[in-house]
Amino acid sequence: MLLIAGLGATACVGSAFAASPQAADAPVYHLPPLPAAQDSDDQGAQSAGADPMANAPVSGAGPTPDGSAPSTAPTAGTPAAGALPMDFPPPVISVAPQAAAPGQSVDSQAAQVTPINDDTISVAGMGQPNGLTLSGGQLQSGIEFTLPRDQVATTARLFLALKVSPALAARDTSLRLMLNGQELGNVALSQASAADNVYELDIPAAMIVSNNNLSFSVNDDNTLTCERDLSDKYWVTILPTSHLQLSSQILDIGRDLSHFPRPFYDPLSMKGSSVAFIFGQTVKSDAVAAAGMLASYFGVLSSYRNMDFPVHLNELPTQNGILFGQPGEKIADITLPQVSGPTLQMIDNPLNPVYKLLLVVGRNGNELRQAAYRLISSPLPARQDVIAVPNQTIPLRQPYDAPRWIDTTKPVYLKDLAQNSELLTTNGLYHDGIRIGFRAAPDLFMWDGDFIPVKIDYRFPTENWIDENASQLSITLNGTFLHSLPVNKHGLVESAWRMLGGDTRQETFTLQLAPYLIYGDNQMEFYFALKPKADAPCSLLTSNNIKSRIDPDSTIDLSRTHHFTLLPNLSYYVGASFPFSRMADFSQTVMLLPAKPEAGEIATLLAMAARAGNATGIPLNHVDVRLGLQDPDAGGAPLADKDILAFASLKQTELVGDLLAGSPYEMRNGLLTVRQETFTTRLKGYFTGRFFRQGVEADRYLASTDAWRGFLSFASPWAGNRVVVMATATDADQLTHINADLQVPAVNAGIRGDIAVINAENGVKSFTVGSQYPSGEMPWYMMIIWYANQHIIFLSLSGLVFAVLIGSCIYVLLARHAAKRLANSANK
């Protein structure tokens, strides 16, 4: 490993590193550190190594949303400036702040612990899973990374892993590094021919702001730019294992509710977020329902980032957390305030005042839901740490109206999917692809032979130095190549017309997309592969003054699809939380927990609620949470019109046994097993087209697996047209791993059928055990054809019986006719 310590902008520009990175005693280069830079973000100017808390306002960094100066946080139990009159008694806190832990600093005046956050951000985590390659005319590129606004970097170190082609290593070139427009230094690529080059660079912490750009460029001392046809020979790759190690201090942003969702979630965080949810010792379904609403809202915000929700029962977290309870309820060392309606209040965490606790208080389920809805429906008022929540109407959603699902009633413009028309234009000869992501309901149905029309209008540049015969527009969907579109129309007539000076540009094309290529989550990419002519000047190759464009009014049309599928199907659930997300607010879903749930079971429910919000873009505003099938708070509401999403380990024998009654599964001696099929059941399966069930294989695998977690799905015992999905495990600790499992693409893709078993040794194993039922709507004449296609044996036997009956009738008629004819002949 070659070490580079403290590269300076003035002292090391253009410097080369002559020591071999393969040497065991690789030298350490000590160069002057970079001067402290002015931070352009709201963190303020910080010198390297200075304490960022020294002059930080208690209420947080930056102006409030109304543009005013940041406010000073109110003291505990008193309203902030502009707050409502003092109708809110403060919570009673009976614990003193903890002392500073080793490695943490204590502000003697504020008497609070200043936490230090250590994080590692890899190039893969910055959005480049395959690394970053510079080659040919593409000699410069960059990546972005962000730092949460309530954190100030104290130390930063870059570990740069490079892979360089031998031909480039033999040239007199170097790699130039810049951060936010400031020079970091140069790495001589002639030293980087080894397979495991890792360069270590100390970066002054003052250079790290909230939004950062780390750029790389190859210094072109030998006209490498002009060797554009040798991009496979001259290249350097910044490997995805390259990473940045950051240490940062966490600022106290105060108790201003308008900062929400901060400090619990910050969109600038490069990593997944963990939000602690706190309940009393006796968990109530109303509190879990409000927590599910809030967890799903965090899922809507999280995009690709993972969200975890550790659950604390009657104890406080050491960091930020959200607490749910009723007025006067004592949870850990906090007694909730005696309020007369739904209330939101932000307080300091008594274990460390830098962190905050958000109190969601209500006297019943409706008030808790109202308080949670106020948090997620609109911005909270500024400069207040406590608010009373007025009664609001929580709107109901309609089937399949999730905003993140593509509309299937009419053609959809690509500009609506891209959210910004500028994203449909690329600049220069070398550029990234145009990516358009969209989600779709997983139960879209079309007959084989039908296609989804995608009308693409596009424009190539008109520069005369572009080789129009070699350039093309490539289209892929979810990594599958679809088509290449030329610059000009092909054909004998078109070629002749072009030779005569006519216009033969092809600027529109309708792509016939096979319906099986559409998944729940899709990524369509357009790439303009522009090829310069052999005599094109080098200066034009790096010009960004040319544009390639996908017309924003291009469309994708799913209006000829139908919502129809077979359930249960676990791949629909892990991909889009379907069929529960059919109503995006879960208004037709019951989320079921045991009567006395463990923390791991509640945490799994919250994590799955976040996944549902992420899939649809809508919080679960109308979800019904029940603790056990006989939950007294449910008011005896029937389950016949509800889909059921259950979370229980196999230790919860009462709930699991009741749910599995009538299903293909049962509990035997504390273990999950598959019921043995009777002759009647097997015969029924054959008649309905279910030839390849795997009940025996699934039962053997369950019997041979000690610790596991996974999913079961089967028809609801209360309604044949409703489904049950059950997240379960051998114990609650195993159940908590499910959320992390679903972040692994291989595991996510491997879950299908109606039972999926996950363990550390074998990954995921999926089986099809039970029967399926049709769900959705199709025209009656299509349903007849579909049923005939699905029940081929029954159709064949029915046809045979029908033929026998008709043949018998015809035989009898013909026999009578023959007998009558013979009788007439005898009489003559």
pLDDT at site 454? 94
pLDDT at site 681? 67
pLDDT at site 87? 54
C-alpha 579/C-alpha 251 separation (Å) is: 42
pLDDT at site 817? 85
pLDDT at site 257? 94
pLDDT at site 632? 76
Concatenated DSSP letters of 308-359: E--EEESS--SS-EEEEE-TT-EETTEEPP--SS-EEEEEEETTEEEEEEEE
Helix 365-377 × helix 285-302 angle, to 10°: 10
Instruction: Mark the ranges of the chain whose per-residue pLDDT is less than 50.
Output: 1-86, 96-97, 99-111, 221-222
Concatenated DSSP letters of 522-580: EEEEEEEE--B-TT--HHHHT----EEEE-TT-EE--TT-EEEEEE--HHHHHHH-TTG
pLDDT at site 588? 94
Q: What is the pLDDT of residues 8-29, one digit of tens each?
A: 333 333 333 333 333 333 333 2
Sequence-ordered list of residues with C-beta below 8 angstroms from that of 100, at least 6 positions apart, any chain = 106, 113
Q: Which amino acid is at 431?
A: H
pLDDT at site 50? 36
User: Which stretches within 647-769 are classed as H helix?
Assistant: 653-660, 679-687, 695-703, 732-735, 738-741, 745-750
C-alpha 562/C-alpha 158 separation (Å) is: 52
Looking up tokens 């009578």 gives 816
Concatenated DSSP letters of 275-290: -EEEE-SS--HHHHHH
pLDDT at site 530? 86
Token representation of residue 771 = 């029967």
Sequence-ordered list of residues with C-beta below 8 angstroms from that of 755, at least 6 positions apart, any chain = 570, 665, 698, 710, 711, 712, 713, 766, 767, 769
pLDDT at site 193? 58
pLDDT at site 18? 33
pLDDT at site 304? 79
pLDDT at site 577? 94
pLDDT at site 787? 76
